[in-house]
Structures are given as C-alpha cells and as structure tokens.
Structure 1
Amino acid sequence: MSTPRVFLARHGETEWTLNGRHTGISEIPLTPHGETQVRQAGRSLVGPGRLIDPSRLTRIYVSPRVRAQNTFLLLLAGCAGAPLEHVNVLVTEEIAEWGYGRYEGWFPAQIREDRKARGLDKERPFDIWRDGCEDGEGPEGLKGESAEEVRVRLDKVIKEIRELQAPYMNGEKNVDVLLVGAGGGGG
C-alpha cells in the first residue's frame, strides 16, 4: 500500500468547451471526440495495476452535470471486471462547475463587451477570479458565483477528503479518491 492519492478528471470535450463558451449549469453533452478522449484516458489510466486502480479507490465525487456523469461512466467502463462495490460514489453540487449566471454560454469577448457597455471595469479588465459572475436577469435568472463561493464549496470537499485519508497517510488502507468535474474559471 502507499500514500493515499486524489485524482482529478475533467470531463471530455463538448461543443462549448471546443469553442470557448462558459459552461456552468447548461447540460451540454460530450462530443463524439470527447467520448473518445475519455475512453482512451480510461484505457490508459484506469484499471487493475494502472495509475487509478479501482481496488484502491474508496470514494468518487462526480459533478451532477451530464457531461461529468458521462465522463465518469466512460472513464470507468473498462473496469467491468474490477470490484467497485466498495467505492462510495457521491454525485454532488459541491464539485459542480462554476455558476456563470449572466455569462452562461457566453464567450469571454462577449463578457468584456457587455461589461464595457454597462460602464463596468473602467479601472481594470474583468477577471473572473477577482470579479466573479453576476446573477442572470429575469425570472429564470441563473445564479452567478464569486470565486469565494466556489472556494467555500470546494473547501468542504477538500476537508472531507482530508478527514477520510488522514488516518491512513502511511498506506494502512487504500483510500484513493477520484473527482470528476470540469476545469472551470474561464473569463
């Protein structure tokens, strides 16, 4: 046994990731190429004796977005013979993509143009990590998140993982963790 590890798997290519649009809560499916990317990664990285060995996994966190769900299934598709019943799979908003709010589906240039037209960012250009995202407009306005809000929810997951792995840092038990979500933070 060895020191516990945490693996991060970003979802495969979607139409919006391919063309650079901000994708938060929109349910954009993987492209055929995205599915191929994930299958190839799974064959190379996941399986008995590979980097991500299912027998070493104890927990998997998955974003609720369909692109992350499909990535999870395709990534582990080659593990049919490997035991996974001991793995706790948690589908959680805690690792969901950034809430882009008003900017959902927008290109970075559109965000800059919109903010300029509304008189924002006079002193410095928009930076999602500093400025966050505004809520959308109208009755169905999407919630925009700040970097602090994203940090808070991700810190909850990090705390859970630390608590899970801390007693076994010398390899006393297999407690590897896999997270399947998005890259996030464009702008």
Structure 2
Amino acid sequence: MSDQNSTTPRVFIARHGETEWTINGRCTGKSDIPLTANGVGQVRGTGQLLVGDRKLIDPSKIAHVFCSPRQRAQSTLDLLLGDSQKDKLVKEGKITTTEDIAEWDYGDYEGVTPHDIRALRKEKGLDTDKTWDIWTDGCEGGESAEQVRERLDRLIQSIYNIQKPHMNGGAAADVLIVAHGHILRAFTKRWLKYPMEFPFTMMMEPGAIGVMSYAHHNISEPAILIGMGFPQNS
C-alpha cells in the first residue's frame, strides 16, 4: 500500500485498543488496564490491513519505535508488529519504552469521567466562572499541561534527530509511536507547534492509526498528513 517513491519520513501514531475504562469513559492514566477481547480484535484488524511489507507501515522502513510503558500500549505494539518483526526491531535497538509518551497523569482524577471531574471541582469551589479544561487547568495531584508539553517536546526533538538526515531520501526513517488517546492528541498539537491550550478538536478511535510528516521535505515544517493515496502494489 505504501508509496515506494515517498522520501519524506513519516511518524505513525497508534492508539491502543479498547479497555473496560475506554468503554465507560473513565480517565485512564497510570492504571494498568488490559485490552478487552474487542480491543485485541481492533488492533489485529488494524495490523492486518496496515502493517507489513509494502503496506502503510512497513517494518523494514521503521527507524525507531517509541511505546508507552502501560501494558495496554505494550500489548498493542505486540499485536501490530507480530513476534518476528518486533524481535527484529528489538535486536536492532529500535524500540524504546518511555514515560515521555505515557498517558497524561490524571492524579486525583484517575478512574473518573470528565463529567464527574467537573462536578467534583465545582463542589470544591473551583471553576466558578468557567468549565474545567485539562488543556489549561491540568489535573489535581497529577500533571499540568506544561509538564506534559515538556516531555512531549523532548520526544519530538528525539524524532527530529532521527529523521533530519533523511528528509530528502536515503535510508528509510519512519517512526512509530504506540500510546494513548489523550497523549496522542497532545502530541499532535505539539507536533504542529500549537500551544497546549490551542482549541484544536481531535478524535482518535481505539486501535486507530494517525500519520504525521513534514511539508516541503523540511524538518522545520512538521505537518499532519490528512490524506494519502494508496498506489496499487505490483
């Protein structure tokens, strides 16, 4: 499926499959919630369609993988790549497990729905003149938006360092990130150089894949790839 003539490196962002807390909308940060059977099926379906030789995500073209430490992300990575491809990348030193792409630390709001968070904050006398917004208010006992921005910017700089030498061809330098819905939306904002509070509404289904790249083969112009063609394989 992949365009073999493409020379601009890409960053694939993969959200883990469904968990029980995904179903009921509870904020899931550090809690190690496993995938449901349906979540496993979601990721397997994505992998079968999009991951493999000459497909959208071609493991032979991956320069590095960054994965959240949480088991739902680790399981998703295993399902996407399969044992043989993952083992090969591990032996090549191309897989990094890092807290830089772990889910937002929700602190006191862990396991609570956004609706109930807003109610709890109102009871405490917070947000009397506005509605709670994680992008500006952060989480009590957890991370602020600034703390999340700092770790994402550090990760993005690492990706730049990997991909900058390959902006006009040469060795394949795609990057795969496997993580969580909220942190991947935050990553997208920072990839596009938007401030965390920028009102950029995004959705990402469990088991979904998003694609980032660069405009004009320029490391200084990170972009979101909102559409791409799928040339016929020969």
What is the alpha-carbon distance in structure 1 between the residues aligned to residue 101 and residue 55 of structure 2?
25
Structure 2 partner of 1:172: 170
On the 8 A contact 2:65/2:175 being kept in 1, the answer is yes
SS at structure 2 position matched to 1:52: coil
Shift of 1:17: 0.9
Q: In the superposition, relative to structure 1, how do residues 81 and 110 fare at CA in structure 2: closer, same or farther (>3 Å)?
A: closer
Q: Show structure 1 runs of 5+ residues with no match.
A: 136-143
Aligned pair 1:127/2:125, yes or no? no
What is the alpha-carbon distance in structure 2 between the residues aligned to residue 117 and residue 175 of structure 1?
50
Structure 1 partner of 2:224: none
Summarize the alignment of residues 96-107 of structure 1 with structure 2, pairs less than 5 Å apart: 96-107=102-113
On the 8 A contact 2:59/2:85 being kept in 1, the answer is no
Aligned pair 1:95/2:101, yes or no? yes
TM-score by length of 2: 0.72
What is the alpha-carbon distance in structure 2 between the residues aligned to residue 171 and residue 146 of structure 1?
39
Structure 2 partner of 1:161: 159
What amino acid sits opposite 1:124 in the alignment?
K
What is the alpha-carbon distance in structure 2 between the residues aligned to residue 25 and residue 171 of structure 1?
39
Shift of 1:110: 1.2
Structure 2 partner of 1:43: 48
What is the alpha-carbon distance in structure 1 between the residues aligned to residue 96 and residue 87 of structure 2?
19
What is the alpha-carbon distance in structure 2 between the residues aligned to residue 81 and residue 150 of structure 1?
28
What is the alpha-carbon distance in structure 2 between the residues aligned to residue 173 and residue 25 of structure 1?
36
What amino acid sits opposite 2:29 in the alignment?
G
On the 8 A contact 1:48/1:82 being kept in 2, the answer is no
Q: Show structure 2 runs of 5+ residues with no match.
A: 186-234
How well do the aligned residues superpose, as a CA RMSD in angstroms? Answer: 1.8
Q: In the superposition, relative to structure 1, how do residues 55 and 170 fare at CA in structure 2: closer, same or farther (>3 Å)?
A: same
**Residue 111 of structure 1, aligned match among 88, 101, 117:** 117
Summarize the alignment of residues 15-34 of structure 1 with structure 2, pairs less than 5 Å apart: 15-34=20-39
- Runs ≥4 in structure 1, deviation > 3 angstroms? 78-87
What is the alpha-carbon distance in structure 2 between the residues aligned to residue 171 and residue 105 of structure 1?
45
Q: In the superposition, relative to structure 1, how do residues 82 and 70 fare at CA in structure 2: closer, same or farther (>3 Å)?
A: closer
Structure 2 partner of 1:141: none
TM-score by length of 1: 0.90
Deviations 1:121-169 (A, max 9, x none): 001010010100010xxxxxxxx00111111101111001001111110
What is the alpha-carbon distance in structure 1 between the residues aligned to residue 106 and residue 139 of structure 2?
5
What is the alpha-carbon distance in structure 2 between the residues aligned to residue 164 and residue 113 of structure 1?
44
On the 8 A contact 2:30/2:105 being kept in 1, the answer is yes
SS at structure 2 position matched to 1:126: coil
Shift of 1:86: 3.3
> Aligned pair count?
178
SS at structure 2 position matched to 1:150: helix
What amino acid sits opposite 1:130 in the alignment?
T
Identity of aligned residues (%): 54
SS at structure 1 position matched to 2:182: coil
Q: In the superposition, relative to structure 1, how do residues 82 and 110 fare at CA in structure 2: closer, same or farther (>3 Å)?
A: closer
Deviations 1:19-62 (A, max 9, x none): 10000000100000000000000011100100000110010000
